[in-house]
Structure formats: C-alpha cells, structure tokens
Amino acid sequence: MSTMMQPQIILLKEGTDTSQGKAQVVSNINACTIVADTVRTTLGPRGMDKLIHDDKGNTTISNDGATIMKLLDIVHPSAKILVDIAKSQDSEVGDGTTTVVLLAGEFLKEAKPFIEDGVHPQNLIRSFRIASTLAINRIKELAVSIEGKSLEEKKTLLAKCACTTLSSKLIGGEKEFFASMVVEAVVAIGHDDRLNLIGIKKVPGGHMRDSFIVDGVAFKKTFSYAGFEQQPKKFENPKVLLLNIELELKSEKENAEIRLSDPLQYQSIVDAEWNIIYDKLDKCVKSGAKVILSRLAIGDLATQYFADRDIFCAGRVTEEDLKRVAAATGGTLQTTVNNVIDEVLGSCEIFEERQVGNERFNIFSGCTSGKTATIVLRGGADQFIEEAERSLHDAIMIVRRAMKNSSVVPGGGAIDMEISRYLRKHARTIAGKSQLFINSYAKALEVIPRQLCDNAGFDATDVLNKLRQKHASGEGTCYGVDINTGGIADSFANFVWEPSLVKINAINAATEAACLILSVDETVKNPKSESAQGEAGGGAMGGRGRGGAGFRGRGGRGMRRR
C-alpha cells in the first residue's frame, strides 16, 4: 500500500474566498434577516420613518420600503435580492414594498431551523412553492370585485383603497383630502398607462391642505425676457401653439466667411436675418394662437413682438411639460411655423398665470381632451414635500391598479391571517415532512399583523390570539388588527382595503426571493480587481456584488451603521 500523498489539484486562483454548504445558506439567511429588520418598523399606519444620510450630504426621510432599500448601500450579494424584489414590487404595483421584504425575511427565518437540522433546501423550496400557489388561489377566492358600479360609487371605493395606502405615510393625517385628489387625477388620465401624464409639482411653503389639483397642466413660469410683463396673463378658450424651434436672433454657428465689395451689401445680409425672424413671428400670429410655448428659447425681440399683439409666450418649457400640454390641449408639437393649420393647435377653457407661494405658475385648466392632471404639493420642509410626493406615487399606483384589476381584499393583516389559517388546515391533510414546511410558511405570514401591532405599541401576542380564534371560527374571514383601539375589527367593514394584486405580487415575489436564496449553497469571491469582478462575476450568486455581509461600513464585514 502506497503511502504517497494524493497530488493536490488547485482549481481556483490563490486568495480566492469560497464558502459553501449549510454554513453558506445560513449565512445568507442571516444577512437577509438583518435587512428585513431594518425596514420592519416602517410597516403600517403607526410605522416609524427612517432618516437616511448619504455621503453627499443629502438627507432623506422616508417610510417607503423601496426608497429605503435603494438608499441602503447593501453589499451582501444575497441581501441584494431583497432590494430587487422591493424595486419590482414598486414598479409593478407601487405599494407593499415593506411587506414584500418582511415576508421574504420571515420565510427565510422559518426555513433556518430546518436547514440547520440538515433538511435539503430543495425540499423546502418545493413546499414553499406549493404553499404560495395555494395562498394565491385563496386570495383570488376571497377577493371582492368592485366592477359594475357607477363612476361616483367607484370613485368612493377607489378613495378607500388610496386611504389605506396613505394611512401608513407621513401625510396620513390628511389621507381623505389627498385620497380624493389622487382618485381625481387617475380618473382624469382614464385608461392611459403613462404615469408621467400625472404631474406632481412641489412648492415649499404653506400648509399641506393648500395643495390643489389642476384638471390639466401646471408648470413653473419659465425664464422670461423683456416685454414679458406686458403680455396678458389670462385667456378664456385660447388656441395653444406648441413649438420646437428657437424664436430669437442667433449668431451664426458655422464659420461662414462672406467677402463684400460694397459696404451696402452688408446691410442687406443683416436685413435678411431680421426678415427671417419677423416672417416666423408673423406666421405665429396669423395662426390665431393666443398662447405660444416652445421647448427652445423665445428671445426678447419675439417676447416684445407677441406682447404688442396680446399674445402670451413662454420659451424653454421642459419636454415633459410640453408633452403633457400636448396631451391635455389636443395640440401637436411643431418643428416649423410654415403652414400652421387649426388642427395642430390645442385649446383649453382657461389659461392663467397664478402666484403659488413664492413661485408663479402657468396653469392650463378645463382641457378638452382631459388626459392629464397636475397635483401641486405644498408643505413646510423640503424633505416633507419629497416624502409626500413618494406617498402620492404609491397611492396613484394603487388606484390605477384597482381601476384595472377591480378586485380588493381586506387589509390590516386580515388576508394574511386567513391564508395562514387556510394553509395550516391544508397542511394537516399532507403526510411527510412537507406538512412541517407548509406549516412554517403559514406561520411566517403572521408577521404582517404581528408587526402592525408591534409598531403601534400593542400586545402582539394578545391580538394575534384573538385573530386566530376569530378566523378559526370561520366567521371572521375579514378580521384584522384595529389600529385605533388595539383590538381586532372587520377590516372590510372599516374600509381598510387593498387591491388583491398587491398581495398576490408580494407573496409571489417574496416566495421567489426566499427560494432563490435557499437554492444557493456556494459563493466564490475572486480577489482580483474587485470592482470589475463585482459586475462581471461575483460568484455563485449570479455576479451580485463583492461578497461581504450586511451593510457597507468603513471596511470589513458585518452590519455597520455610520
């Protein structure tokens, strides 16, 4: 028998960091749990806000899960998956971003003891996928459709959904005021999917109740030249001309060289330039338009010319605002002033320039095609207005989804408790280990009502026991946490509603993320050129980030808060 040593085979470069097996899966779960704990306290109407201060000195105060996840500089490759699902929930549904991170974290937390006991991750993944399919089917059964109602009834019901979303935000104190505003804006754009047709303009100062909605377009007064103040500032039923050309005298861009033999010829060249601009201005006036907007500059000569003829003009209007004016007034953007026919002109009931706080706004209201709306937000601090905008974005997305998929489910943790009860009951009918796994999935769903209680300062154990008893009796399908009294209440009767799509998407994304993290059993971290490697390889996590764990601190691993 040979005592010779086996030859050592080196596959990976020296210094390469590899970790694998059970320890790797547990490490990934721990990292994700830390991330979930960070946003945990922001859930629900009594959730706290996070103040995030970045290295550029920008300060953000937010309650929105997706915003917080984006701003946390997470390095751990597995934990980055939670950032991705928060972003996907935000872009698909707009709300429920904290919910999706919490659920994913809780699914992993429930899976951890099984992994430590030596259960193969694939068994867990299989059971979790079955449980998620059952949960989604149950949500679809319990969803109540709001289709077939009159427009006024529908508006009231949509406002209830917006109120549920806004109740957990900074502007929750004025949720009814903002909910009706959001519904008006979404109904205004109708079935058009483009979110940018709803403009949100922020003007510091005043009270948040000074915010208002315009059934058309409002934008800040643009840079203006001499003669601007002589123009009329209000029109009724004006024609609107939208241009994408400059109306000013420009020095030649090209290095043109003209040789003249007679000084009088020079005058004719100057005159030609003036004649060209006057010809353009004359054609604008003849079109019959009373409001002329251009994406490029309108110079002092043109401003004065229009002022003398009682025409309002504004140059350097941003492309986004100009597109929204086109959608609202029914006008078409022109790149020439030749042959401007009536069909390309837009119109609105009233155009006026109005003072809002410290700013002057050009407002087009009562628009004929009515495909756009603008919300002007007021408030004290800049951070407050920024957060109000994020809150309104969530509410707008929710109302849009509720209009398209008009089925709602009770909120306040009611639907989560009902699915949890349903899955526990189903688990009893299954033999083998998967009974335990589906049971743990059901237990994880209780994190939502539990966290709602914790954030409001109630006794979570007491409230959850009441909820379990109510749901088990079969009568309390719609019962959830009552934030006002600390007890339980019928969420549906109290109009705490959310579109079923929010829950379906959240459960889908959270289960996917949990299964993905459980399926990774090895991370390879290449020492060479970290920055290139972070993008190109990054190891078995599919090239996500630079290894490490927790949050990026000043070096090293672990969770470091500066």
- Judge whether 490 counts as a catalytic residue: no
- Respond yes or no: is residue 372 known to be catalytic: no
394 is known as an active-site residue: yes
Give, in degrees to the nearest 5, the angle at Cα 182 between 390 and 176: 95
Instruction: Choose the catalytic residue: 67, 98, 99, 374.
Output: 98
| Catalytic residue of the set 60, 97, 372, 477 | 97
From 86, 164, 199, select the one nearest 512 (Cα to Cα): 86
Reported in sequence order, the residue ranges of 167-296 that DSSP labels E, i.e. its strands, are 198-204, 212-214, 216-220, 234-236, 239-243, 291-294
* Mode of pairing for the β-strands spanning 359-367 and 373-379: unpaired
Sign of CA dihedral 281, 282, 287, 290: positive
Question: What is the distance, to the nearest Å, from the Cα of residue 315 to the centroid of all Cα atoms in its chain?
Answer: 31
* Pick from 86, 80, 88: nearest CA to 552: 80
Contact 210, 320 (CB under 8 A): no
Measured distance CA(377)–CA(392) in Å, rounded: 10
Report in angstroms the alpha-carbon separations of 197 from 104, 158, 255, 364. Answer: 34, 19, 42, 14
Buried-exposed string 233-246: b where 16+ CB fall within 10 A, e elsewhere: eebeebbbbbbeeb
- CB distance 402 to 499 below 8 Å: yes
Coil, helix or strand at residue 324: helix
Phi then psi for residue 533, to 5 deg, are: -65, -35
Task: Pick the catalytic residue from 95, 215, 321, 394.
Answer: 394
Asked whether the beta carbons of 299 and 281 are under 8 A apart, the reply is no
Total H helices, total E strands in the chain: 17, 19
Catalytic residue chosen out of the listed positions 64, 95, 215, 454: 64
Report the candidate in 377, 385, 372, 374 with the shortest Cα–Cα distance to residue 356.
377
Nearest to 87 by CA among 70, 103, 108: 70
The Cα–Cα gap between 29 and 436 comes to 19
Catalytic residue at 336? Answer: no
CA separation for the pair 561, 551 (Å, rounded):
8
User: What residues are labeled active site?
Assistant: 64, 97-98, 394
